Amino acid sequence: MKIWLNGGLQDAESARVSVFDHGLTVGDGVFETIKAEHGRAFALTRHLERLTTSARGLGLPDPDLDEVRRGCEAVMAANPMALGRLRLTYTGGVSPLGSDRGDAGPTLVIALSETRRRPDTTAAVTVPWTRNERGALAGLKTTSYGENVVALARARERGASEALFANTVGALCEGTGSNVFVVLDGELHTPPLHSGCLAGITRALTVAWAGAKETDLPLDALERAEEIFLTSTLRDVQAVNVIDGRQLADGPGPVTAEAMRIFDEHSAADFDPR
């Protein structure tokens, strides 16, 4: 297995990042997860734009996108596989053991791991913690995912594969690694970006292609929803058939099934949709 580290390919087993890397010591970093299908990265341009937005939000220098593109190509070419999780990690680099960032320059890692298509349906639960929609990290894809890790572990304990957060005013926000859509009175809605959710790329494409409304929703909209689905890079569109133990349907409902069909059709026609 080959990875890209600061300018070149290296063996994954022997590649070394400093124990003083600010990404490791204080979570000072940003990342992207990209779907790699037969050596092609889906929606790469959008992912690179979001990487830059997240880096700027954290005050990191803009990533060198020519290098990132070259690195993605090299890593996918060196590790052929049908479906992979291409992961870009970009951190504050070697720094003092505190919150001040050092001046050694950022660390860039590009790695790939094999993965499988997610099932069409899954169970989700709500968790008692909130997403802070106003903090410095709101809406950025940083490596500070501790809360997401805890929430996902809670979901697994309850037999589910995703946990859904409310924000600090009790509005529905997002999952630990996904955006959420609900069908109410036959209409498709998703929380707006000001809810504090990540500007998910699958979310944006689903809003554009399937025509969802961006609506402030209370958390208990999940109790009334006729259908619920999740979107993310590795899920595409995935139906939630059990929410907090309540069975919605055996399989995807009609609106969800249509969103899945539209997403598959559009993404097959355009691998780098803008």
- DSSP of 135-183: STTTT--BS--HHHHHHHHHHHHTT-SEEEEEETTSBEEEESS-EEEEE
| Position 122 contacts ligand PMP (CB under 6 A) | no
* 233 in contact with ligand PMP (CB under 6 A): yes
Q: Is 159 left (phi over 0), alpha (psi -120 to 50) or beta?
A: left
* Residue in 121, 167, 202, 238 binding ligand PMP, rule: CB under 6 A: 202
When binding is defined by CB under 6 A, the residue of 84, 200, 252, 253 that contacts ligand PMP is 200
Span near ligand PMP by CB under 6 A; candidates 11-19, 96-104, 153-161, 175-183: 175-183
Residue from 28, 174, 237, 243 that binds ligand PMP (CB under 6 A)? 174
Residue 250 beta carbon to ligand PMP: minimum distance, rounded to whole angstroms: 25
Residue 13 beta carbon to ligand PMP: minimum distance, rounded to whole angstroms:
27
**Which candidate, 200, 179, 204, 183, places its Cα nearest to that of 258?**
183
Residue 256 lies near ligand PMP (rule: CB under 6 A):
no
Report the nearest approach of ligand PMP to the CB of residue 1 (Å). 22
Q: What is the largest CA-CA distance in the chain?
A: 55
Q: Are 90 and 30 in contact (CB under 8 A)?
A: yes
CB-based closest residue to ligand PMP:
200
When binding is defined by CB under 6 A, the residue of 232, 241, 256, 267 that contacts ligand PMP is 232
Among 76, 123, 164, 198, binds ligand PMP (CB under 6 A): 198
**Alpha-helical segments (H) within 58-115:** 65-78
Near ligand PMP by CB under 6 A, which window of 88-96, 111-119, 228-236, 250-258? 228-236
Q: For 95, which DSSP code?
A: -
Please give the Cα distance from 90 to 28 (Å, whole number).
Answer: 9
Residue type, 37: E
Q: Give the neighbor-by-neighbor strand order of the sheet with 8-11.
A: 8-11, 2-5, 107-114, 83-91, 29-37, 40-41
Binding-site member from 201, 210, 228, 239 for ligand PMP (CB under 6 A): 201
Instruction: Give the residues lining the site for ligand PMP (CB under 6 A).
Output: 33, 174, 177-179, 198, 200-203, 231-233
